[in-house]
Amino acid sequence: MKTRMNKTKLMLLAVTAATLTLTSCGSKEKQERTPEHTITAKVATAQETNYPVQYSFSGKLQADKQSNLSTRVMGQVQKVYVKPGQKVNAGDLLIQIRNQDILAKKAQVEASKVEATTAYESAEKDLKRYEALYKNNSASDKEMDDMRTRYQMSKARLDAVNQMEQEVEESLRYTGIRAPYSGVITGKFVQEGDMANPGMPLLSIESPSQWKVYARIPESDIARLELNAPVNVQFTSIAGLEVQGTVSEINPSSTNTGSQFEAKVLLNTSGADAKQLYSGMFATVNYEEGTQPMILIPKSSLVTRGQLVGLYTVSQAGTSLLRWVRTGKSYGDSIEILSGLSDGEKYILSSDGKLFDGALVVNK
């Protein structure tokens, strides 16, 4: 009996000693780990504020002035003076089409014009002379009628030759393709030696002095957009560039645009901005209408894990806690939080160390 009691006491003493040892070690470990669990961070408070409601539409950038250059005559391309990307001035010769046939026809017309002019001038003089004779009863009615007929025929002949001359000059003008305005060559569709046909595009040119964006508007938002409404435009390939613009056209039909309406936005670009823009760039047109309460936070405070988006909040105990949120529209460097963060809650903007759940947060 006594031996059993002694064993029991020994067991109790061993358990007590082990407990004291673990408690001592735990306290020591806690004291050693506490500094590692403390993180200095910049903390902000979520505030629900009335912000302008923004609607965003995708679009494509184009120069406001674009042209495909072609000819009205058939002929062989004799010389191409430009290449894509080359700047040209209004009136510069871009393509020369072989024009020997037209020059030969022009020479024939000029010879015919000399002959017709001589005949007309002779008929005009004879008519005036016979008119004088007719007044003095020295010419018969038939002779007078013959002179008038001759004069009218020679005049009609001269008019026809003059018309032919204009047609030849017009054809000759289209053998030399010139720049209709100052701009940049954006496409070359023929080579020297190719046969040019009437209406066939030879070159494309655009003027980068004015830019526009063609935006596609869903039918749910078309009623919100108004003519002359101010908008701002951002570009996928140019981070940080935001250009102001004005809605200049709204197509009221979506029949040919895949059930989406097309709007034209003219951009107010400065010289520095315009140098960064190129036709075909993808753009986002942002339009503001009215206000509504929302919570906006900096995008830099978000944490992404795969398809999940979250941020670190600060609990009432002052520790960090990762919370998943649902985001909405972007507003520059900020983003709307639809759920997961409430008004008045604290969250971490940035920290001096790596964030994790349970870290004690010390505000900067």
Task: Using the Cα atoms of residue 119, residue 121, residue 122 and residue 127 in order, give the sign of their dihedral.
Answer: positive
What are 134's two structure tokens?
Answer: 């007719």
Structure confidence at residue 272 (pLDDT): 65
Same domain (yes/no): 196, 148: no
Angle at 315 (CA atoms; ends 311, 318), nearest 5 degrees = 110
**Closest to 322 (Cα-Cα) out of 335, 341, 336:** 341
Same domain (yes/no): 120, 197: no
Structure confidence at residue 275 (pLDDT): 80
Same domain (yes/no): 194, 216: no
> Does residue 22 sit within a domain?
no
Q: For residue 146, give its domain range.
A: 100-173
Tell me the pLDDT of the chain (364 aa) as tens digits: 444 444 444 454 444 444 444 344 444 444 444 445 889 999 999 999 998 888 889 999 999 899 999 998 888 999 999 999 999 999 999 999 988 888 888 889 999 999 999 999 999 998 999 888 888 888 888 888 989 999 999 999 999 999 999 988 888 888 899 999 999 999 999 999 999 999 899 999 999 888 999 999 998 888 888 899 999 999 988 888 889 999 999 998 888 777 899 999 999 987 667 788 889 999 999 998 888 899 999 999 999 999 999 999 999 999 999 999 999 988 878 999 999 999 999 999 999 988 999 999 999 8
Residue type, 109: V
Same domain (yes/no): 245, 326: yes
Same domain (yes/no): 342, 218: yes
> Does residue 110 sit within a domain?
yes
> Does residue 40 sit within a domain?
no
Looking at residue 251, which CATH number applies to its domain?
2.40.30.170
d(CA 57, CA 224): 12
Same domain (yes/no): 184, 260: no
Same domain (yes/no): 218, 355: yes
Q: How many domains does the chain have?
A: 3
Same domain (yes/no): 153, 252: no
Same domain (yes/no): 191, 237: no
Last residue of a domain, one of 124, 157, 173: 173
> Does residue 124 sit within a domain?
yes
Residues 6+ apart with CB under 8 A from 178: 91, 92, 93, 94
Phi, psi of 72 (to 5 degrees): -100, 0
Looking at residue 163, which CATH number applies to its domain?
1.10.287.470
Same domain (yes/no): 189, 77: yes
Last residue of a domain, one of 152, 186, 201: 201
User: Do the Cβ atoms of 357 and 321 come closer than 8 Å?
Assistant: yes
d(CA 123, CA 147): 7
User: Do the Cβ atoms of 193 and 75 come closer than 8 Å?
Assistant: no
Same domain (yes/no): 122, 234: no
Same domain (yes/no): 83, 157: no
User: Do the Cβ atoms of 313 and 341 come closer than 8 Å?
Assistant: yes
Last residue of a domain, one of 153, 173, 193: 173
Q: CA torsion 154→159→164→169, rounded to 10°?
A: 130
> Does residue 23 sit within a domain?
no
Segment 244-296, tens digit of pLDDT: 999 999 998 888 777 899 999 999 987 667 788 889 999 999 998 888 899 99
Looking at residue 83, which CATH number applies to its domain?
2.40.50.100
> Does residue 287 sit within a domain?
yes
> Does residue 5 sit within a domain?
no
